[in-house]
Amino acid sequence: MNDDLASGLLSLTVTATSPDGRISATFGDQGEKMEIAFRPGGYRHYSETALAQELSRLAMRVTAGYVRAQTRLIDAAIPDVLHDDAIEYGLEDREFRRSLAGIKTAARSPDGRIAVASQALARWRVRIADGTIQGVPEEAFTADLLTAFREVLTRHQAEVRKLKDEHYG
């Protein structure tokens, strides 16, 4: 990998906005940078169920954006790179890709009020306990949410490493 590509991938950062436009998320530096920000007054605007739905969709948007940005960087640096265009490279690789797509990880916030789950970091589900919005200030909520997201990412990375060991030694 050339130095420009490596540097670009290490510093890659994307931002996405929730479908309703009230929340933004930034993801970058290979998961080292995670931020969630509400528009002024946005946090108290939601019910727990509505906020969980918006955060689930936002997580999907920001991770999909990150993957697209990675692909663009790789394509620009290595124009003839092979992509998985349904070409099978062997049983072991098919099984590995299938296993990757099936990785499910979940975590809770330190206070247990927020639960975050993911399948392959592509599908996301956030749950928020009743009374959280009224009982937890925005800054504390955001910090706890990011803690849960980081733990999901850490667990996912551990599962990927385990799969690589199982499939490729």
Q: How far is CA 68 from CA 9, 23, 73, in A?
A: 12, 21, 9
DSSP structural state of residue 53 = H
The residue ranking higher by pLDDT, 43 or 70, is 43
Q: How confident is the model at residue 86 (pLDDT cuts 50, 70, 90)?
A: low
- Which amino acid, one-letter code, is at 100? L
Yes or no: domain 3-168 corresponds to CATH 3.30.1310.10: yes
- Which amino acid, one-letter code, is at 126? V
pLDDT at res. 18: 97
Report field, pTM of the whole predicted structure over 0.85: yes
Averaged confidence pLDDT in the chain: 90
Q: How far is CA 35 from CA 58, 101, 140, in A?
A: 12, 25, 13
- Tell me the average pLDDT across 140-149: 97
pLDDT at res. 10: 81
Q: How far is CA 158 from CA 85, 104, 153, in A?
A: 27, 11, 9
Q: Please tell me the distance from the alpha carbon of residue 90 to that of residue 18, in angstroms, as a whole number.
A: 39
- Tell me the average pLDDT across 9-33: 91
What kind and span of H or E run contains 107? strand 104-108
pLDDT at res. 163: 92
Checking if the pLDDT of 31 tops 80, the result is: no
What is the domain partition of the chain in residue ranges? 3-168
Q: How confident is the model at residue 81 (pLDDT cuts 50, 70, 90)?
A: low
Checking if the pLDDT of 162 tops 90, the result is: yes
- Tell me the average pLDDT across 55-63: 96
